[in-house]
Amino acid sequence: MAQQFSVFFLGVTGYIGGSVLVELKNRYPNAQFTALVRNPKDNAAVQALGVQVVQGSHSDLDLIRKLSSESDVVVNCGDSDDLPLTKAILAGLENRAQATPDASKKPILVHTSGTGLLQNERDGAFHSDKIYDDNNIDDIKSIRVEAQHRDVDLEIFSAGKTGLIDPYIIAPATVYGKGRGPVRNLSIQVNNMIRVALRRKEVVQTGPGTNVWNSVHIDDLADLYGLVLDHALSGKDKSTDPFERFYWGSGDEYVWGDITRELARLLYARGVIHSETLKIIKIEEEPILNPTASNSRSVSNRGIALGWRRNGTPLFETLPKEVEWTLAEAEANA
């Protein structure tokens, strides 16, 4: 597309954010991108993508409000749980809408949430027959108020009801695969499991490992962001309820116990753990592995309706590479 518009981007140095930025830059070569970058050492890598850098952190709320007010689109891949940050972004976009009222060109927010919204008991057991469908707004409205990310999401839904801006939320499941961004290119859940195993010399699992999540390849997720922004910019979105602008970034389901057993096999074969036998723990021993102990089940029918197709290598088949990449990271950081 040859559209010219301005984008303020948060989270460019992160795993998801970096890949999403590269995807959007490819889709919109004529758009002007500005990114908030905290660490000056990352400036050059971001600028090499043709992105203007503004130095600052998520606590620089006045700066964030200003940059949001100067942008047609804000993409937040930086933090799913920072309510003051979200309020500053929304205030800036609302200021822009009020200063330049044009119902056909409302400011757009694309915000990153997560399927951690659906987490239940963290005991490693299967607890969830319910699969949440993003094309069913009653499912999305029924998510617990106290759920992870929910306070931020509700603030965004509320802003959408004012009619001043068009906010969209994308909630990824377990993301995997090598990222394409300028700084960080490894994920969290599976890779943290590997990192913990390297530290302890054993693979750990919470409870029986029968708990179920969805997964999504990073390239497929970046494509979903592109499709959602395409839709937002098209002027064809006729939704009247902000909950209709919520998208799960979810693909195939997997069982966490299958992942831990395969990681134990792979890591033992490389001689970096003492045994293939899993160590069964309570999540309090390794809270960094919190998502691996719960259930989270969702289906991305709203994204599929936009034409989203998942083409990435399945999670289980990617595990040997995830081990390789995480071992290389550990060696580089040693």
- pLDDT per residue rounded down to tens, the chain (334 residues): 347 899 999 999 999 999 999 999 999 999 999 999 999 999 999 999 999 999 999 999 999 999 999 999 999 999 999 999 999 999 999 999 999 877 668 999 999 999 999 998 999 999 989 999 999 999 999 999 999 999 999 999 999 999 999 999 999 999 999 999 999 999 999 999 999 999 999 999 999 999 999 999 999 999 999 999 999 999 889 898 999 999 999 999 999 999 999 999 999 999 999 999 999 999 999 999 999 999 999 999 999 999 999 999 999 999 999 999 999 999 999 8
CA atoms within 13 A on the CB side of 88: 19
Residue 4, pLDDT score? 87
pLDDT for the residue 69: 97
Residue 1's pLDDT is 38
Contact call for residues 177 and 255 (beta carbons, < 8 A) = no
Please answer whether residues 138 and 63 qualify as being in contact, where contact means their C-beta atoms are separated by less than 8 angstroms: no
User: Quick one: pLDDT at residue 102?
Assistant: 72
Cα gap 132→215, rounded to integer Å = 14
Question: Pick from 113, 37, 21: which is nearest to 73 by CA?
Answer: 21
**pLDDT for res 103:** 63
Rg (CA), the chain: 20
- 3-class secondary structure, 299: strand
Closest by CA position to 312, among listed 230, 234, 235, 220: 220
Number of neighbours of residue 63 by Cβ within 10 angstroms: 16
Q: Is the distance from CB of 111 to CB of 170 less than 8 angstroms?
A: yes
Say how far apart CA 273 and CA 267 lie, in whole Å: 6
